[in-house]
């Protein structure tokens, strides 16, 4: 019995020792596991923080967005500085309809390159964006009849067409109303031209040709331009055959209902002209220079009116700044000089400045509330014009500083031996032309 008691006691002692060692071992293992787990958690947190920093600062929204989102258009500032290298037109042509735009043209920064040369013998093309009532008819005629060229344009007055061919072959170097006609639509805007011009040239020259496009346009003081358009519509002009092409289709009658019934708006009063909410005369210059795909084309429900106006104005400013050349109707001589120095081409006659116009006489008869309403309806154009004035003078001064013969050149613009000024009074009246051109 004693022996058995000893054996039990030994076993109990051994078991107690084994239990203590087991508990100690388990405690050490538990402590080590907690330490490892804590290190793992800290590593994961550090990795996540690093990822957030990387994706936040180095990864673009287009690549890293988890879900498709509409661009935050409010980030497009309307107050970006006036500078020559603002870049080419906004590149978001695929929004919202994935519309494919052709080459939007060489930027002004490209043109200022000291090695630049407008190569008329190559594949360079000048594209004239003609905004209504900005003096584009006269300027368009200057382009086809008054440039001193190796191979001048040959014009047929009855057909209102000129062949502006390259010196070495029968291919157009100019895309405009008087050289090619309204191939992209009557008074095609930036959105229409950039999606159409290249296709039209491909039809004649083939799609293998790599062309350089140089967009040019004219702007006019907004109130005068608006009143000039009013008087033009008053006489019966409509431009109802304009396509308003955007996003792969024309604007529907629901999106752009007419302001009048019948064939025209002839005899409209100024108050009626102002009151029509779908009157395209309102902020016309901004709309025609903007990339309308950015605002849902003519679908005004795509975004709020405030946001739509912000985006259109920002886009118009950027596209204008990127154009190879633009001029203001009120500064004919500066415009002629900038064009000649930019493209190294010379006009054979001086441009004329006509400050006394029918719109100026209409302006003097406006009532205060009418003038205020017109300013409100054209607020985007007013800001765009101020932007254009600043940019025009900056370009002019830069070209002036690079020209050692500026004083002589500027004083003798358009004076070339053996050339006389073309009599524009013999040309068809613009109001009659607009009626005729709707059928061309």
Instruction: Show which residues are catalytic.
Output: 187
Q: Would you state the structure tokens that stand for residue 352, as one six-digit string?
A: 């004329």
d(CA 264, CA 256): 15
**Sequence-separated (6 or more) residues with CB below 8 Å from residue 410:** 333, 337
Q: Would you state the structure tokens that stand for residue 56, as one six-digit string?
A: 């936040």
Torsion angle of C-alpha atoms 169, 175, 179, 181, degrees rounded to 10: 130
Would strands 174-175 and 169-172 be described as parallel, antiparallel, or unpaired?
unpaired
The answer to whether the beta carbons of residues 293 and 73 sit under 8 Å apart is no
Would strands 249-250 and 245-246 be described as parallel, antiparallel, or unpaired?
antiparallel
Task: Specify the residue for token string 């051994």.
Answer: 14
**Sequence-separated (6 or more) residues with CB below 8 Å from residue 131:** 187, 217, 218, 219, 220, 284, 285, 288, 289
SS3 label, residue 213 = strand
Distance of CA 284 to the CA centre of its chain: 13
Question: How buried is 234 (Cβ within 10 angstroms: 0-12 exposed, 13-18 middle, 19+ buried)?
Answer: middle
Q: Would you state the structure tokens that stand for residue 226, as one six-digit string?
A: 């608006």
d(CA 61, CA 53): 14
The answer to whether the beta carbons of residues 229 and 197 sit under 8 Å apart is no
Reference 132, options 196, 197, 215, 228; nearest CA is 228
The answer to whether the beta carbons of residues 340 and 103 sit under 8 Å apart is no
For 55, 81, 107, 109, 391, the CA distances from 86, given in Å and listed in that order, are 27, 8, 9, 8, 11
Q: What are φ and ψ of residue 342, in 5° steps?
A: -70, -45
């Amino acid at each position: 019995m004693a022996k058995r008691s000893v054996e039990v006691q030994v076993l109990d002692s051994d078991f107690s020792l084994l239990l203590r060692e087991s508990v100690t071992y388990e405690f050490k293992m538990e402590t080590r596991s907690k330490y490892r787990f804590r290190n793992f958690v800290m590593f994961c947190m550090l990795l996540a923080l690093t990822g957030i920093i990387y994706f936040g600062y180095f990864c673009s929204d287009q690549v890293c967005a988890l879900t498709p989102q509409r661009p935050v258009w409010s980030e497009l500032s309307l107050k970006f500085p006036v500078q020559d290298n603002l870049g080419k037109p906004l590149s978001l042509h695929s929004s919202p309809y994935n519309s494919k735009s052709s080459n939007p043209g060489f930027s002004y920064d490209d043109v200022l390159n000291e090695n630049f040369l407008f190569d008329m013998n190559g594949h360079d093309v000048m594209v004239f964006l003609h905004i209504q009532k900005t003096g584009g008819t006269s300027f368009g005629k200057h382009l086809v009849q008054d440039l001193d060229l190796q191979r001048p344009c040959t014009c047929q007055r009855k057909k209102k067409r000129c062949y502006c061919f390259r010196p070495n072959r029968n291919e157009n170097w100019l895309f405009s109303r008087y050289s090619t006609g309204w191939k992209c639509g009557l008074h095609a805007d930036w959105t229409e031209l950039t999606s159409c011009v290249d296709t039209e040239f491909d039809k004649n020259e083939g799609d293998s040709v790599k062309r350089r496009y140089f967009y040019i346009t004219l702007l006019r003081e907004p109130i005068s331009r608006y009143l000039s358009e009013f008087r033009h519509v008053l006489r019966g002009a409509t431009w109802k055959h304009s396509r308003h092409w955007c996003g792969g289709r024309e604007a529907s009658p629901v999106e752009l209902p007419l302001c009048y019934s019948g064939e025209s708006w002839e005899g409209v009063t100024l108050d009626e002209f102002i009151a029509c909410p779908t009157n395209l005369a309102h902020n016309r210059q901004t709309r025609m220079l903007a990339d309308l795909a950015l605002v849902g084309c003519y679908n005004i429900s795509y975004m709020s009116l405030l946001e739509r106006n912000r985006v259109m104005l920002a886009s118009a400013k950027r596209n204008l700044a990127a154009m190879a050349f633009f001029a203001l109707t009120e500064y004919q001589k500066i415009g002629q000089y900038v064009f000649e120095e930019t493209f190294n081409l010379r006009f054979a006659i001086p441009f004329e400045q006509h400050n006394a116009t029918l719109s100026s006489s209409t302006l003097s008869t406006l009532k205060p509330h009418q003038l205020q309403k017109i300013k409100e309806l054209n607020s985007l154009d007013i800001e765009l014009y101020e932007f254009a004035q600043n940019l025009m003078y900056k370009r002019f001064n830069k070209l002036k500083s690079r020209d050692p013969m500026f004083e002589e050149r500027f004083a003798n613009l358009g004076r070339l031996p053996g050339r006389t000024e073309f009599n524009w009074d013999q040309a068809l009246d613009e109001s009659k032309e607009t009626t005729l051109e709707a059928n061309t």
